[in-house]
Structure 1
Amino acid sequence: MIDAFGRFGLTINNRVVKTPLAIASMAGIVDARYVLERKDHIGVAFIGGYAIDQPTMDAAREIAHDGTRKEFLYNDPLEALGAEITLLKPLDLITGINLRGSSPDSFVRVAEAFGEDVVYEIDAHCRQDPMVAAGSGEHYLKNPDELVAVIRALKAKKVAVSVKIRVGVAADDRVLVRKIWKAGADIIHVDLMDAGVTKLRQIRNSCPLLIIANNAITTFDRMREMLSHGADLVSLARQSDVDTLAGLDAAISRYADKEGWYNSPKQLCRGGDIRALTFCCMPVKECPLIPALTRIGISRDEYVRLKLETVKGTPLDSGPNTCFASLAWCCKTSSPCMFRDMTLAKEGLSKKEYMRRKRELSDTIMSRVFHDVPSDESS
């Protein structure tokens, strides 16, 4: 029986994530009771959104006033949050609390109350006019310096921080996510709207943070599409019914157990993100590899040296009969290659183990690409 870490290799807030499926917050709907009904098929649950100061609580009441939208309404946000967190503590999943606040101090008060037990998700996503006017939700996407201040205030309390964003609102989403990374956040939870995998790939190529992709992900094909373009997890909101979650959970577990790398990227020449450098061959011809190396600031010689040094002494070091005499340069198992497969058979290396090793190589490459937090100028 494969354990969750062996299957997915995912951790959040120093805890193993049992499946790369999350429930996204929906104000007035997603609370502890909602999560408890779905607990068997998710790894992360973001409850909320919860208004946490007077401006946002007033906004929540205004939004709920005409009865067309639900909100969580209360007089004491800490009391309300505490009751929900307590109900979820016994579960083997990671709890995130999606918070709508108008100042760093508001978020800090919550972090001081609940400490490191939960992930604090800054709601920079809500587009309801009263909430934006209160200085929350999409207000942060148009005022990223204020968002940075909130992230830094939370990280000063040594807690895990997620930022829920909506693409297409900030002036440049790539610049935004680099600011979020620089400020110290741990997770970007991104509503892709209608932008799809192109925007997701841009975000993956702009930061090393854990990415949760959200928006209309209800089939395994759609889930794999998100995972193969940069997502670490996917989240569901309106369609997070038990049957859909159970089906996705079972399908991604089967895929991981068979393939070895549950969110393996498409190859670079087929539209993959930069994690796919692990599958690229020697830089000896004009192909998508060359401009990709230029964009990330790695020379051809450094790329060659990085891959060869990383695989030295590992099963990927061998392969005299492959195109470039090492499995370091070989492609994804979904691409037919008799030379790669002959080498794997000779070395007694399964395709699943080969892909696991390729993931380790990719992790090393990504660490090199994102070794330095960007400066103010580059962010």
Structure 2
Amino acid sequence: MAANAPFTPPLALASLSGEADADWARAGAAYAGAAFLGGIALDADSRAAARELVARDRSEFLPDEPITFIDRELAALGDVPIQPAFNVRSATVEPVAEAARVCRDRDTLLEINAHCRQDELCAVGCGETLLRDRERLATYVERAAETGVTVGAKVRAEVPGVDLPVLARDLEAAGAAFVHVDAMDSEPVIADVADATDLFVIANNGVRDTETVREYVEYGADAVSVGRPSDNPTVLERVRAAVDREFGLEATR
């Protein structure tokens, strides 16, 4: 497991497009160690893609000034006992560096989105497309890391032609501190990534109860994250109790 933990307890709330804002993070702070706000589209192409998604009834954050929006949402969490993080999308690297500087100044983790698979986002080079372009994704991570921010990436398993352990090693070499893995239906990939790097590995997908938390812990995850039910206190309480048990934290709560 990774030596340096960017948040504790090792339970995160995973970003939900158009829903994961400061109020959402505040509501989950009693249960989680981190909250990944966003995702948010940063540049012209990613924002155009996000508008297309909204046109077909998908929820998206589309403020006039995305960097200002990031700063404002993070400022609203200044008194909340949770580690904030921001998931960002961009077809170009410079806005990622700009967002990284804001996150650095707000003591916030930056997560580069190499995960979303909507056609509109992939067409402009965002989301899952970055998984197939390891060099470009590594450049995003490197530019962000140069600012001094703690940076990582959200990735997805089961993408044809993508070797996640190899990709994770590239991200680590570029300066990443963590990788957030949507395991899909390939949970053992968590072990493959954890064995390949010293990155802090956050396991995502289907985290609902003791059984799912235990499975990811046995595969070597350093933390788990809850996605769709992240606004459901009943699920969060159950998962937090499981995290405390499986990570041996019950005595500290």
Shift of 1:10: 6.3
1:97 aligns with 2:86: yes
1:53 aligns with 2:43: yes
Q: Please tell me whether residue 44 in structure 1 is matched to residue 34 in structure 2.
A: yes
Which of 152, 161, 170 does residue 142 from structure 2 map onto?
A: 152
TM-score by length of 1: 0.62
Deviation at 1:201, TM superposition (A): 1.0
How far the C-alpha of 1:258 sits from its partner, in A, is 6.6
Alignment of 1:261-300 (within 5 A): none
Aligned to 1:20: 10
Closer, same or farther: CA 171–254 of 1 in aligned 2, 3 Å: closer
The match for 1:109 is: 98
**Distance in 1 of aligned mates of 2:94 and 2:83:** 24
Residue 227 of structure 1: how far off its partner (Å): 0.9
Could you tell me which amino acid in structure 2 is paired with residue 11 of structure 1?
A
Gaps of 5+ in 1: 1-8, 261-379
Q: 1:82 corresponds to which residue?
A: 71
How many equivalent pairs are there?
246
- 1:271-350 correspondence to structure 2 within 5 Å: none
Mark the structure with the bigger radius of gyration: 1
Residue 125 of structure 2 is aligned to residue 132 of structure 1: no
Distance 1:245 1:105, change over 3 A: same
The Cα offsets for residues 65-110 of structure 1, whole Å up to 9 and x where unpaired, read as 021x111112110121122111112112111000001122110111
Residue 40 of structure 1: CA displacement? 0.3
Distance 2:200 2:103 in 1: 23
In the superposition, the TM-score normalised over structure 2's length comes to 0.92
Q: Which has the higher strand share?
A: 2
SS in 2 for 1:234: strand
The 1:220/1:153 distance shift into structure 2, 3 A limit, reads same
The offset of 1:177, in angstroms, is: 1.1
The CA deviation at 1:257 is 4.6
CA shift for structure 1 position 119: 0.6
Give structure 2 stretches of 5+ with no counterpart: none
Which segments of structure 1 move beyond 3 Å, counting only runs of 4 or more? 257-260
Partner of 2:208: 218
Q: What is the alpha-carbon distance in structure 1 between the residues aligned to residue 173 and residue 111 of structure 2? A: 17
2-structure distance, mates of 1:23, 1:105? 27
Give the Cα–Cα distance (whole angstroms) in 2 for the partners of residues 225 and 218 of structure 1: 11
* Residues 243-291 of structure 1: CA deviation (Å, up to 9, x unaligned): 111122233324515799xxxxxxxxxxxxxxxxxxxxxxxxxxxxxxx
Q: Is the alpha carbon distance of 1:66 and 1:254 closer, same or farther for their aligned partners in structure 2, counting shifts above 3 Å?
A: closer
1:85–1:259: structure 2 CA closer, same or farther, 3 Å change rule? closer
Select the residue among 182, 189, 192 that pairs with 1:199. Answer: 189
Pairwise CA distance, 1:114: 3.9
Deviations, residues 312-365 of structure 1 (Å, cap 9, x unaligned): xxxxxxxxxxxxxxxxxxxxxxxxxxxxxxxxxxxxxxxxxxxxxxxxxxxxxx
Structure with greater contact order relative to length (CA < 8 Å, sep ≥ 6): 2
The RMSD of aligned alpha carbons is: 1.8
Give, as a single letter, the amino acid of the residue that structure 2 aligns with 1:80: F
Change (3 A) 1:254 1:157: same
**Residues 103 and 109, structure 2, Cα contact 8 Å, conserved in 1:** no
Which of 8, 11, 15 does residue 5 from structure 2 map onto? Answer: 11
Match of 1:234 in 2: 224
C-alpha distance 191-257 of structure 1, shift in aligned 2 (>3 A): closer
